[in-house]
Amino acid sequence: MDDFIAARSQMALSLGFHIIFSCIGMVMPFFMAVSHYKWLKTNDEVYKNLTKAWSKGVAIFFATGAVSGTMLSFELGLLWPKFMDHAGPIFGMPFSLEGTAFFIEAIALGFFLYGWNKLNKWFHWFTGMVVGVSGLASGILVVAANAWMNSPAGFDFVNGQYLNIDPIQAMFNKAWFSQALHMCLAAFTATGFAVAGVHALMILRNRNAAFHLKAFKIAAIFACIGALLQPLSGDISAKDVAKRQPAKLAAMEALYKTEKPAPLLIGGIVNEKDKTVKGAIKIPGALSFLAHGDFKAEVKGLDQIPENEHPPVAITHYAFQIMVGIGTLLLLVALIYFFILFKKKPLTEKRWLLKLFVFAIPLGYLALEAGWVVTEVGRQPWIIYGIMRTKDAVTPMPGIAYSFYIFSAIYVSLSIIVTFLLYRQIKMVPVLYNKPATNN
């Protein structure tokens, strides 16, 4: 394996791994806080058990998220030293604030996990909230750093020199808002559907239905609200990309030729050599609308961009299709769920609905990973858009391929162990919390 490809793969793998855990760490505290709040209000033991059961899951994820995050902060240097040499002082601001946020999060988590029966109960609840809020804040901050790579700001680039550096301006670059909003919603959607689905499965298997039903309801409501808002925020993102990174937008839609009005392609096989797309469904004018809010607008194609600045089209296009496809699907699930809630039908009788949620377990995360592939691969060949090429940033050390193999092996084994642990946690629910159901 080529060292450059190995470095990119290792970065992608590490981030793709970290993002799963960090999203759970960002979102689960809010679920816990709701359940915890209900316990404090209603004194229903089931909610207390639920909070505790979830908090154990979160502790497992938090640790894995924290170590994989530590990895990342080293990997930025280990793999991309020339990038960090220049970028560090410019886009470092969000990272240093993020440090504060993480720190608060870690401390609050310590209080929360070990504070049962030791702290004032509302203070204890509050520490749980702090975990969630600071987790979310750190997510927004890192994404602002990533947004800077897409939309560099806060410095003047003169003859290869980075002058007049202003880290605050760099943090509030043009892309930060649309990306951070979309990312936060994605975290709620993905985690919500995954958690709701697991509990739906348990209800279907008739294990501790009272416990799992309460869990399901909390997670599902977060998931469905997220899924409802996601396409709206995705539309904001798309318009943003059209303005700041036309090459990425063209790659997302495999638009090889500039068109006016431009059609939206659904599916299709991309042939990068002939620059053609076969078998796609075309919706006339829709891309013009998506990108510029006007069905007749012109959309820049790859023909207007120098060949050596083209991102890989096929991957970007497929990933975008996956994200949008899943987004639409989850939107439908959410609508159905709200309809049923509105009708006040008991959920346990709607087994098909629960099955739908079980089916949706991996979907949110698939969309999330696909979305990041769009953003990152669509930025290629740049590591800092328009300023520095990725291949100029890679470490001079040879043999990165071995490092990639080792870290892949580690990530694979960690994933297996975490899955195994969660499986056991869930399996043990009846043993640990088997109180006769007090209501239902």
Partner 1 sequence: MEYVVITFLCMAILLYFLLGGADFGAGIIELFTSTKNRSRTRKTMYQAIGPVWEANHMWLIIAIVILFVGFPHIYTTMSVYLHIPLAIMLIGIIARGTAFVFRHYDAVKDDMQWLYNRIFRYSSFVTALFLGIIAGSLISGHIDIQATDFYTAYISGWLNWFSIAVGFFTVALCGFLAAIYLIGETNEYHDKRRFIKKAEFMNIAAVVFGAMVFIAAQRDKIPLIDWVFKSNVGLSAIVLASLSLVLLWYLLIKGKTKVLRILAGFQVTMILLAISYAHFPNFIRLKSGNAISLLETAGPEKTIYSLGLALLLGSVLILPFLGYLFYKFQKKEE
Which residue ranges make up the site for partner 1 (CB under 8 A)? 56, 59-60, 62-64, 66-71, 73-74, 76-78, 81-82, 84-86, 88-90, 92-93, 95-100, 102-104, 106-111, 113-115, 118-119, 165-168, 395-398, 403, 406, 410, 414, 417, 421, 424-425, 427-428, 432
**Integer Cα distance of 243 and 246 in angstroms:** 6
How many CB atoms lie under 10 A from the CB of residue 236? 14
Site for ligand HEM (CB under 6 A): how many residues?
42
- What character string, x for contact with ligand HEM (CB under 6 A) and - otherwise, covers 49-88? ------------xx--xx--xx-xx--x---x--x-----
Could you tell me where the beta strands, DSSP code E, fall in 187-286? 264-266, 269-271, 276-278, 281-283
- Minimum CB–partner distance for residue 390 and ligand HEM (Å): 4
**Integer Cα distance of 176 and 178 in angstroms:** 6
Q: Which is nearer to partner 1, 380 or 403 (CB)?
A: 403
In the Cβ-directed half-sphere of 378, how many Cα atoms lie within 13 Å? Answer: 29
Give residue 242's identity as a one-letter amino acid code. Answer: A
Q: Which of 387, 389, 257, 366 is nearest to 319 (CA)?
A: 366
The distance of Cα 428 from the centroid of its chain, to the nearest Å, equals 29
**Integer Cα distance of 241 and 255 in angstroms:** 14
- Minimum CB–partner distance for residue 109 and partner 1 (Å): 6
- Minimum CB–partner distance for residue 251 and ligand HDD (Å): 11
- Minimum CB–partner distance for residue 25 and ligand HEM (Å): 2
- Find the distance separating the first CA and the last CA of the chain, reported in whole Å: 58
User: If contact means CB under 5 to 8 A according to the sort of partner, which of ligand HDD, ligand HEM, partner 1, none does residue 234 touch?
Assistant: ligand HDD
Q: Which is nearer to ligand HDD, 59 or 331 (CB)?
A: 331
User: If contact means CB under 5 to 8 A according to the sort of partner, which of ligand HDD, partner 1, ligand HEM, none does residue 376 touch?
Assistant: ligand HEM
Cα 220 to Cα 75, 188, 193, 301: the distances in Å are 36, 10, 6, 40
User: If contact means CB under 5 to 8 A according to the sort of partner, which of ligand HDD, ligand HEM, partner 1, none does residue 15 touch?
Assistant: ligand HEM
Q: Which is nearer to ligand HDD, 201 or 330 (CB)?
A: 330
User: If contact means CB under 5 to 8 A according to the sort of partner, which of partner 1, ligand HEM, ligand HDD, none does residue 138 touch?
Assistant: ligand HEM
Parallel, antiparallel, or unpaired for β 161-163 and 269-271?
unpaired
Helix (H, G, I), strand (E, B) or coil at 80: coil
Q: Which is nearer to ligand HEM, 115 or 285 (CB)?
A: 115
